[in-house]
Every structure is written in C-alpha cells, then in structure tokens.
Amino acid sequence: MDFESPDVERDFPGLYASESGSGKRSQDSDFSDDAHDRSTKKELLIGKRKDKKESKKDQGYAALEGESSPEEDLDVKSPCKSKKSKSFKFPTIKEKREKSREKDSKEKDKDKDKDKEKDKDKDTDRDKEKRKELKSKLKLKDKKKVKVSEDVTESVEEMPVFGVPLSVAVDRSHCHDGIEIPVVVRNCIDHVQDYGLATENIYKISGIKSKVQQLRRSYNKREMVNLCDYDVPTVTSLLKSFLRDLPEPILTTELTPKFEDIACVKELAAREQELASLLLQVPTCNLTCLSWILRHLENVTANESQNKMSISALGSVFGPVFQTSTRVVTALLSHCGALFPNVKLVRYIPPLSSGCTSLPNTREAIAAELIKQDSLLNQIHSEMNHGYTVRSEELWEVQRFITLLKRKLRSLEKAQEASSQAVDKVDSVAEKSEHSATAAPSTTLSKIAPISPSNDKIDFQLQVWFTLLSSKLAKLAQLMHNLYPVFK
Amino acid sequence: MKKPNQQPALHKVIMVGSGGVGKSALTLQFMYDEFVEDYEPTKADSYRKKVVLDGEEVQIDILDTAGQEDYAAIRDNYFRSGEGFLCVFSITEDDSFQATQEFREQILRVKNDENIPFLLVGNKSDLGEKRKVPLSEATGRAAQWGVPYVETSAKTRANVDKVFYDLMREIRSRKMEDNKPGNSRGKDKSKRKKLKCVIL
Ligand SMILES: Nc1nc2c(ncn2[C@@H]2O[C@H](COP(=O)(O)OP(=O)(O)OP(=O)(O)O)[C@@H](O)[C@H]2O)c(=O)[nH]1
Ligand SMILES: [Mg+2]
C-alpha cells in the first residue's frame, strides 16, 4: 500500500490514527441506509409526477435562476466593483436588505399572493435580460478572470441561500449525499432532532436575533457552520426564517388556496386522500423539503409531554412560516405519517473536510465519500465558472483529498485483486496437481518420471494443503465480495 | 526575513501538457518514487509534499491536470490558482511539442503575466532512440519564451527532482520580488504586466 508512504503520513498527520474507530463504521452504515432510502423516496416523489408539466416548468425556472438570481443586481451596482470590494462590506448591505425585507414581508403578508404574481412576471422579464447579460458575460469571461486576483477571498453573498427560490437554494447549498434539501434546513432538523425535542415550547421561543443573522450570513457565504455552538431557539428561528423568506410559499402560490380548501374537509379519510393527490402537484424540491420538515415536526409532537408542543400549537407557529393558515399545517401534520410513509430522517454527514484525520477504510465507504467529494468539487467548479467566487484554496484541498481517496481505493482494489488472483492460482495449481495425481498412475507422466511412493505422499499432502487453502481463500473472496459490492 | 513559527511557505505548481506525455508519471515519481507503466488518463489530481528547498522547509502543492481535451473545461479554474507551471511534452511525440505553444498561450492569458514561473519539460528522455523532437528545436522555443528547458525521464527519475526544485526556486524568488517594500505591484497581475512593458 504505497499511499502509506511516510510522505503521506507527514502531510496528513494522524491520518490512520483512528482508522479502526467504531464511530466511523456506524457512519458508513448510516450512509448506505441513506442511499437506499434515497432511491425509494425518489421513486415515491419523482416517479409519480414525472410527466407533470409543472415540474418541467419549475426546472426551467430553476435553471435560469441558478445562473443568477434577479435580485442580485438590485444591490450590487457594478459587477466590477463587487469583485474588488472586500467581503466585510457585503454583510452590511445584505443586513440592511434582509431587515427591510423582513419588515416588508410582514406588511405585505396579506396581499402577498397578488404581489407574487406581479413579481413573477417581472422575474421572467428580468431573466431574459439576465440571459443576454450572461451571454456577454461569457464572452468577457476570459478578460474577467484576468481581473480577479486569486489572493482575494471574495464574498459569496452575491449568491445567497436565504430569500431565493427553494430550487435555487438547493442548487447553491447542496447536501452532497443526494438528498435535495438545502443544507441549512437539513442541519437545523438534525440539530433539533438531537438537542431540541425535549425543549419546552420549542419553535415557539425565538432565538437571539443577532445570532440568527450571523448564521444566515454564514450560510449565505457557504461558510463552515457548526450549529452545536448555538442554542436550540436560535436554530429553530433560523429554520423558520429560511422558510418565511422563501419568495413563494413552500406549498406554492398556486396550490396554497387549494390546500386551504382541503384542510376544511371534515371527513378524515377523504381529507387525507385529497391532500395526498394535491401534494403530487407540488414541485419535487418543495415536496422533499416539506416532507422532511413535517416528519421532523411529527417527532416534535411525539414528545409533546416534554416540549408542550401539540399539533395545533405547532400549526399556529408554522402557519405563517409556511405562508399559509394554521389549519393547513395542522392537517398536514396530522396526516404526515400516511402522506410520507417512506420519508425517513437521515442525519446529514457532510463531505469529510480535507483537514480530517482519518480516511474511511472500506472500499464501499471510500466510494461513497468520493461521490460526496465529487459533488462538492463540482459545486466549487460551477461557482467558479459563474465567475462569482474564487475558491481556489478549497478547490486544491478538495482535489487533494479526492486524489488521496482514489489512491487508497485503488490500493484496496489491488489488494483484493491480488488475493483473488491468489485464489485463482491456487485453484489452477490445485487442479493441476489433482490432474497430475490422477494422471500419474497412467500413461504420460509415468514415462517421464516414475513416481516413488514418497513423492506420491508429498503430492497428496500438497494437494490436501492446496485444497484447504484454496477453499479458505475462496471463502474469504466470497466474504469480501459480499461486503463490498463492486463499485462503479 | 521569515519568522520561525510561521507555516512553511507553500508553492503551487501546475502540470500541463498533452495527454500521455507523462505529467502524472513525473508527479508520482516526485511524490512517491514510483513509476506506473499503465496509462490512465487523468481528470485532475492534487498532491502536497513537504520538502527542503535550499535549507528551508517548504510545502509544494502539485496539481496534475488533464491533457485529454475531454477534461479541458475545468482546467481554467486550476490555471488561475497556479503559481508556477511545468509545461510537459514527450520528446517522442512532435504533436505534444507543438501543443506546448497553446498551453503557454492559455496560461499567459489566464495569468496575464509574461513572467510567470514556467519550465518547458521534455519528458521520456530514456526513449532517446525514439526521439522526434530535436533538442535544438526545444531549446529554441524555450529561449524564445525566455524559460528554462529541461529533459526528464519519469521512468529513470532523471532530472525529476530538478524540474520541481528549479520551479519552486523561481516561484520563491518571484514571491520575494513581489513582497519587496515599496513594490506596489503586489497582487494586481495586470499592473505587473504594464510595469514589465515599461521596463522593456
Ligand atoms: N519510457 C517512459 N515512459 C513514460 C515516461 N513518462 C510517462 N511514461 C508513460 O507514458 C504513459 C502516459 O503517462 P502519464 O503520466 O499517465 O501521462 P499524462 O501526461 O499524465 O497523461 P494525461 O493524464 O492523459 O494528461 C504511461 O504509460 C507512462 O508509463 C518516461 O519518462 N519514460
Ligand atoms: Mg495524467
């Protein structure tokens, strides 16, 4: 295993120190569960609504938005300026904007729907403009790149995660394990699941505003965030603010009134049925996000005795958050299990940071990690290609980590190959010796070498030994085969 | 000048050149003293190694890029962040030598810096009997560019350390130049070019 050369160990001190740690192993199995889950859920969520027109429309919209959100240009006067200005300037601009938006959103809440319609029209116009701009931008790309100095760490807040359409947020803030929910939502759910379920009046109590702002900024800039440094109310406020600031209700502007109607249906079975069929019209990324949040809130209500939050209490908190009525949230929550039977909350394990001290040690775990790292690398590349950000440090780091993982994977594969080749060899040798043993007494061999009894004995012993060994090796190979389904 | 407790200096080197010329082979020989006979095209790989450069402990980051055009799209992002380049061709393949011209141009375009640390490397010197690129032609081009030319063999390790160390020295002296007090060239590469023009 050449990757264990002193060089590598020097570069990644303690790389192999905790390799056999049991924590690692459970993580690995978590991931495989998760991967399994993902495929089943996709069948459920995407499969059914594959040919729905809305999803296509939505994707088109998302793609446009992904390139650049219209509102970016509202704040950033000149793209050149923004490139050169230092990152600390952005939060203040952003903060003001966010504050004003928060006010606005409260005031606007009533006639939001009308506004949204107008906004949408504007957006499409703006998108067209943006497209033109983008084309010329692409032409200028080379020149632009020249201007950007790689030493300047730029603000990424020009591509915020808060206050943009959900599909854009998912795009910008990937979970690298394939679950298409913005990282911030996933992190909040995980955190509350871990530390908040017993907290009295959870989701009702607000967190510290400045801390929530701080977190929003960090997520907008795609910084590493450790929610463990924050208290539960701050985290719940963060989640609520993310949802509240979505430009469109998570149930969509179009469908929200229909949900209101269904929520009034008295007959439970009928209500459940109608909810289920209406949910199929919700865009996939909204549905995924919604289902995870509801499943999580279900866990909250399951701990009502401790946290004092009943379904209706949560409903009244989340009505405004989902930009709908209490009744709708209550209805969704009470049918949650039936509506999303296949959604299981899986903790998000982000790609290992390149500074981490231990690599996964099984082929399967390495392969899984490589997928995450590749997803991360692609995101970095695509952000750099958009010219918004310079993340070269991270780019080299992630690339280095991938190279290291690939080398380890390859050496594991080689080791396995070698062992299976050994099995083959032993098999063929055993076959030969078997063959010669049976053939020996008869014609050919006896002519060349008359076999003495002692020779025979050795032959026999060898044969026994070979068969024993080869069966052991075959078992081992089988075991390895079972353990590590072939990658790729 | 250097404070003793600082992180060792980090020099970022990028391997460029056509597919199959031996960029990965050179990198792996330098990193791990190994030579791989099989050709497996690279998408991108990155390595870090601590080395002693003229008595000073430094780190070298090597980015091994793809020669194959299939992966060319992501190359720019890497080029931007390189501090020095080893532009590799195979002395047994004229096409790979011709391609160095394009790589040079692409690097100059992305870095906008005529004086970027850069070595022209003719690899596979162990295959002298199959030489297609005359030494004079290679040295001629290097002279025209104002860069050193070195022939290497990733197989025999000939000159492998030399190209990496020589490039690191160039990067280091380049950085020292940039950090000179009263030197306003600092981080803005475009300014640097203008200044150069004035000198010329
Ligand atoms: N004889 C000889 N063979 C070499 C030498 N360097 C590389 N090779 C062989 O040339 C082939 C290609 O080498 P690589 O290092 O993979 O080429 P590359 O430049 O990294 O190619 P890409 O990754 O596609 O850009 C391999 O089969 C190597 O074994 C050398 O110095 N001498
Ligand atoms: Mg290569």
Residue A392's pLDDT is what?
81
Give the model confidence (pLDDT) of A219-242 as tens digits.
Answer: 998 888 899 999 999 999 999 999
For the beta carbon of residue B160, count every other beta carbon within 10 angstroms: 24
Question: Which of B47, B74, B112 minimises the CB distance to A403?
Answer: B47
A317, A203 in Cβ contact below 8 A? Answer: yes
Single out the residue of A307, A182, A165, A291 nearest to residue A238, CA to CA. A182
- The secondary element (H helix, E strand) that includes residue A376 is helix A363-385
Give the model confidence (pLDDT) of A33-45 as tens digits.
Answer: 444 444 433 443 4
Residue B60's pLDDT is what?
97
B63, A133 in Cβ contact below 8 A? Answer: no
Contact at CB, A392 and B80, closer than 8 angstroms = yes
Of residues B169 and A433, more confidence is placed in B169
Q: What is the mean pLDDT of residues B134-148?
A: 97
Residue A473 confidence class, pLDDT cut points 50, 70, 90: low
By DSSP bridging, strand B44-53 and strand B56-65 are antiparallel
Q: What is the mean pLDDT of residues A13-31?
A: 36
Residue A409 confidence class, pLDDT cut points 50, 70, 90: very high
Which residues of A have a CB under 8 Å from any CB of B? 2, 5, 7, 10-11, 142, 145-152, 381, 384-385, 390, 392-393, 395-397, 399-400, 402-403, 406
**Residue A426 and residue A463: Cα distance in Å, rounded?**
10
Choose one of B39, B45, B88, B89 to mutate for the ligand 1 pocket test, by most ligand atoms within 8 angstroms of C-beta: B39
**Residue A250 and residue A287: Cα distance in Å, rounded?**
8
Q: Is the pTM of this model over 0.80?
A: no
Q: What is the mean pLDDT of residues A329-341?
A: 95
Q: Sign (positive/negative) of CA torsion A256, A260, A265, A269?
A: positive
Question: Which of A11, A142, A395 minimises the CB distance to B50?
Answer: A11
Choose one of B43, B64, B124 to mutate for the ligand 1 pocket test, by most ligand atoms within 8 angstroms of C-beta: B124
Query: For the purposes of burial, counting CB atoms within 10 Å of the CB of A479, is it exposed (0-12), middle (13-18) or buried (19 or more)?
Result: exposed
Q: Name every chain A residue with its beta carbon within 8 A of the beta carbon of B107.
A: none
Ligand 1 neighbour B44 (Cβ under 6 A): no
Q: In degrees rounded to 5, what are phi and psi of residue A146?
A: -60, -40
B21, B89 in Cβ contact below 8 A? Answer: yes
**Is the minimum CB–CB distance between B115 and chain A shorter than 8 Å?**
no
**Residue A322 and residue A319: Cα distance in Å, rounded?**
5
Q: What percent of chain A has pLDDT over 90?
A: 42
Residue A383 confidence class, pLDDT cut points 50, 70, 90: confident
Give the model confidence (pLDDT) of A106-124 as tens digits.
Answer: 444 444 444 444 444 444 4
Question: Is it the case that residue A80 has pLDDT exceeding 50?
Answer: no
Q: In degrees rounded to 5, what are phi and psi of residue B68?
A: -65, 135
**Is the minimum CB–CB distance between B188 and chain A shorter than 8 Å?**
yes
Residue A480's pLDDT is what?
57
Work out the minimum CA distance from A11 to partner chain B, whole angstroms.
6
Of residues A94 and A408, more confidence is placed in A408
**Residue A453 and residue B91: Cα distance in Å, rounded?**
63
Residue A57 confidence class, pLDDT cut points 50, 70, 90: very low
Question: Is it the case that residue B193 has pLDDT exceeding 90?
Answer: no
State how far the alpha carbon of A295 is from the alpha carbons of A193, A253, A277, A292, B145, in Å: 11, 22, 18, 5, 64
Choose one of B15, B24, B38, B65 to mutate for the ligand 1 pocket test, by most ligand atoms within 8 angstroms of C-beta: B24
Distance A174 CA to ligand 1 centre (A): 36
**Residue A389 and residue A154: Cα distance in Å, rounded?**
6
Interface confidence, given as ipTM, is 0.87
Residue A476 confidence class, pLDDT cut points 50, 70, 90: low
Interaxial angle between packed helices A112-147 and A89-108, expressed in degrees from 0 to 180 and rounded to the nearest 10? 170
Distance B20 CA to ligand 1 centre (A): 5
Question: Which of B46, B77, B112 minimises the CB distance to A403?
Answer: B46
Question: Which of B48, B189, B190 minimises the CB distance to A11?
Answer: B48
Q: Kindly identify which residue of chain B lies nearest to residue A387, measuring between CA atoms.
A: B77
Residue B180's pLDDT is what?
78
Q: Name every chain A residue with its beta carbon within 8 A of the beta carbon of B188.
A: 149
